[in-house]
Chain A
């Protein structure tokens, strides 16, 4: 199977290279053909991004220039460039990203999409970032919606949406090789090919990414990922477009702590593959019909052998497989001069198989249905009213309607005020509703089921200002987000009166308040400064009670979390990214990142105030994107050896530290 795949890839590469060489210059047509030629609709409604000043939500866009300037190597790290977002890793080995703090490595409340395909794993309500088979080089831009957006992005967009948009096959990309080598075994390789002929465009990317993790000896947190991503676009005429994508990734991540019997040194193996087909038809007057199908499959394999301590089996071998099919139809229709409607329907099936997590009873396959509609009404030139809703059936037995409305008022053509309100739900994760593990484990689950979805109610006031002539833009918002029926661990008492297993229950209500700002200053085409800042507070109250409420230990446990709650968001956090292109092929960029102390949910002590400075120096030669051109960059992370520690959920073992580290990236275009 593997060798067949490799030979198929080799064949594809060979044909791509040949076709590049053979492509000839068109010509010989009468001049006036240029005027009569039917052209394909390229910038279709679904491809066009809404400008910040007209979007119904606060939005941060991470573009290619920012990705390059940051020097980051992993997708998850980029979210340090979003105000209010937490990007971290658990014990060094598992990357995660969350909004409004309050999370453990299961960052449950944010939808993550890659080209419209959800990579959020419903069995655990989490995203395995390292497994997303996308090279950073292939990311066109990332739109981060700050605030619930279920009406437009579907269920589980409870706190926000990360929408990763990859480079389309049509984008010109000649062959390129990029190699990174550096401290702590940083070793990356990325190879991309692009080919364009007539109505077919394709690109192929192969990647390898590895490093030795954080600078702490006791944690086994090295990681290496291999990935493959292929995308093709077939545009047979002016109207239709077929976009096909497929990808595969295989990761090995270290886990375990030296000298800790409960968590011996070992490897976690994860695989992910997907196939996706999108058909877009351009209709009259800018209308559009789109059908998208995707299938994803992933597996998680904790290779640890059954481990015994004093005759008690601590961990069974954990092997998990998930599979998803999803189909969606979307119709965009400009039904009057002032109104544009996007509506559609979709269905998704989710399956999870794991003898370890569903020991007594397998989890059911969940079939979910959704209907959505969103209308943009341009009341006047100065007033845009967005309203929408999504109805969903989560397959567990919940039917929710998530509405959203917002009003954007252009005080002047360059100054916009926005007020908005929305509701969104997070459906219980499969493990929360159905998980059942062997009692012999250290932290077994025995889910009672019957959970209600978490409900988010969000209100915000925003301002987007451009100051033409100065190069300045400001985007700021104040919000109050209230999360009800928060699902949390519910300690269970066994026959001996001990609390050593847990279920899940709707138990808390959290209110987040804060403000976020992004200030951009651009003084040259390739030179700019981006400053992000967020200030936030969390307050919690009880919204339910543990099952064994009569037991003082359960009460202490329950109220202990309540007391900890305000510390679960970093009060202040932000970033500063400076990107300056000097002449003569020299570019300099620098990033500063900071975050106040924050208590991560399953950590034993708060993660300390962190701040660090990264710099990147790039020297390009030839024309970097043309054959024979390229560039060499030196990246230094945590240049001044400031505090940057990640959180650890393991007692007495210290914190993963990111010390100063440097690596060299060489990119050559062929």
Chain B
């Protein structure tokens, strides 16, 4: 009822001028832009503009786009960027973000739903982050232990991973381009498979490669959440609080699960179970 009223109010006002800029380097940003435009097509409250300077609101998708408008005088909604990147951005006049990454709680939800027995969570990283400390506390609160090992140089990866996998029952991937990339993933996955420790990945691509499962949000899901924020902004002139995507996907690599002898519920069941958890 309230939403209807807000919408009605917005129709009377001048349309909101929204500038959209996106990192052109990956089709995901394009898909995101398309989903956004499609959802808003025919919505009279919004008009698109190419000029960020004359916009009432700028939507920046991806870090590269974010960097271009980080000192914008118009309010900026950063989307499709990680929480870590967002916290290091120069701040526009008013800003908020819809993150690409999953809240740590949700990743632990997935771990709990898929691998209830996995007590020892292994993580490798190249440089320490605040996130890691939070993860450690969250894991402990759920009766799990985080084993985090730093890889200081690339040729130490083999030994560090081996030692880590000896004490871990699952390897959780956190984004860290320096040590987790297309070049190293073969070694890492083969090593985890050899010692029969499942990997929880970051994306569908990880699951295809051989990770046991992953939780992630698609560009379409993030676009839907962006629309909600836009409508709210159009109506109230207020940006929402920075937030993670509410919607998410779960994928499971059944062949890997079977080969590791793990009885993992299917993706739908996992998703339902994760939603139930507080």
Which residues of the partner chain B approach A201 to less than 8 Å between Cβ atoms? 186-187
Query: B43-51, B104-112, B171-179: which lies at the A interface?
Result: B171-179
Instruction: Sample 19 A-B pairs with CB under 8 A, ordered by A number.
Output: A25-B153, A26-B154, A31-B81, A31-B175, A32-B81, A34-B181, A35-B101, A37-B181, A39-B182, A41-B209, A42-B210, A43-B190, A43-B255, A51-B260, A53-B261, A168-B190, A201-B186, A235-B186, A468-B117
Q: Is the CB of B82 within 8 A of A623?
A: no
Which residues of the partner chain B approach A623 to less than 8 Å between Cβ atoms? 159, 163
Partner of B205 from the list A30, A38, A198 (CB cut-off 8 Å) is: A38
Q: Is the CB of B63 within 8 A of A31?
A: yes
Residues of A whose CB lies within 8 Å of any CB of B are: 20, 23-43, 45, 47-54, 64, 140, 168, 170-174, 196-199, 201, 233, 235, 238, 282, 286, 413, 466, 468, 525-526, 623, 625-627, 629
How distant is A28 from chain B, measured CB to nearest CB, in Å?
8
User: What is the chain B residue whose CB lies nearest that of A473?
Assistant: B261
Q: Is the CB of B62 within 8 A of A42?
A: no
Does B157 reach chain A (CB closer than 8 Å)? yes
Chain B contact patch, size range = 35 or more
User: What is the chain B residue whose CB lies nearest that of A624?
Assistant: B159
Q: Is the CB of B159 within 8 A of A626?
A: yes
Q: Is the CB of A34 within 8 A of B177?
A: yes
Leading 5 A-B pairs by shortest Cβ distance: A43-B210, A172-B158, A626-B159, A34-B175, A30-B63
How distant is B104 from chain A, measured CB to nearest CB, in Å?
15
How distant is A354 from chain B, measured CB to nearest CB, in Å?
42
Q: Is the CB of A32 within 8 A of B80?
A: yes
User: What is the chain B residue whose CB lies nearest that of A27?
Assistant: B178
Does B276 reach chain A (CB closer than 8 Å)? no
User: What is the chain B residue whose CB lies nearest that of A199?
Assistant: B183
Which residues of the partner chain A approach B238 to less than 8 Å between Cβ atoms? none
Which residues of the partner chain A approach B84 to less than 8 Å between Cβ atoms? 31
Which residues of the partner chain A approach B229 to less than 8 Å between Cβ atoms? none
User: What is the chain B residue whose CB lies nearest that of A626?
Assistant: B159
A28 to B126, CA, bound (A): 13
User: What is the chain A residue whose CB lies nearest that of B212?
Assistant: A43
Which residues of the partner chain B approach A198 to less than 8 Å between Cβ atoms? 183
Chain B 111-152, CB-CB to A under 8 Å as 1, else 0, gives 000000100000000100000000000000000000000000
Partner of A140 from the list B157, B194, B261 (CB cut-off 8 Å) is: B194
Instruction: Decide yes or no: A24 and B154 within 8 Å by CB, A31-B177, A34-B177, A171-B190 being known contacts.
Output: yes
Does B226 reach chain A (CB closer than 8 Å)? no
By CB atoms of chain B within 10 A, which of A27, A31, A51, A170 has the most?
Answer: A31
Which residues of the partner chain B approach A37 to less than 8 Å between Cβ atoms? 181-182, 203, 205
A33 to B190, CA, bound (A): 22
How distant is A334 from chain B, measured CB to nearest CB, in Å?
8
Q: Is the CB of B202 within 8 A of A35?
A: yes
Does B68 reach chain A (CB closer than 8 Å)? no
Residues of B whose CB lies within 8 Å of any CB of A are: 23, 26, 28, 62-64, 80-82, 84-85, 100-101, 117, 126, 153-159, 161-163, 166-167, 175-178, 180-187, 189-191, 193-194, 202-203, 205-206, 208-210, 216, 253, 255-256, 258-261, 263
User: What is the chain B residue whose CB lies nearest that of A233?
Assistant: B186
Q: Is the CB of B205 within 8 A of A174?
A: no
Query: Besides A32-B63, A34-B202, A48-B193, 18 other CB < 8 A contacts?
Result: A25-B154, A29-B177, A31-B63, A34-B180, A35-B28, A35-B203, A43-B210, A48-B259, A50-B259, A51-B259, A52-B261, A171-B194, A196-B183, A196-B187, A198-B183, A235-B186, A238-B205, A626-B158
Which residues of the partner chain A approach B167 to less than 8 Å between Cβ atoms? 525
Which residues of the partner chain B approach A52 to less than 8 Å between Cβ atoms? 261
A43 to B255, CA, bound (A): 9
Q: Is the CB of B166 within 8 A of A33?
A: no
How distant is B164 from chain A, measured CB to nearest CB, in Å?
12
Q: Is the CB of B203 within 8 A of A36?
A: yes
Instruction: Decide yes or no: A36 and B26 within 8 Å by CB, A171-B194, A201-B186 being known contacts.
Output: yes
Which residues of the partner chain A approach B100 to less than 8 Å between Cβ atoms? 32, 35
A33 to B180, CA, bound (A): 11
Q: Is the CB of B158 within 8 A of A174?
A: yes
Partner of B178 from the list A26, A50, A468 (CB cut-off 8 Å) is: A26
Which residues of the partner chain B approach A26 to less than 8 Å between Cβ atoms? 154, 177-178, 181, 183
Q: Is the CB of B183 within 8 A of A39?
A: no
Which residues of the partner chain A approach B187 to less than 8 Å between Cβ atoms? 170-172, 196, 201
Which residues of the partner chain A approach B180 to less than 8 Å between Cβ atoms? 34
Which residues of the partner chain A approach B157 to less than 8 Å between Cβ atoms? 172
How distant is A409 from chain B, measured CB to nearest CB, in Å?
15
Q: Is the CB of A170 within 8 A of B186?
A: yes
User: What is the chain A residue whose CB lies nearest that of B88?
Assistant: A31
How distant is B91 from chain A, measured CB to nearest CB, in Å?
18
Q: Is the CB of B263 within 8 A of A413?
A: yes
Which residues of the partner chain B approach A170 to less than 8 Å between Cβ atoms? 186-187, 190
By CB atoms of chain B within 10 A, which of A20, A26, A466 has the most?
Answer: A26
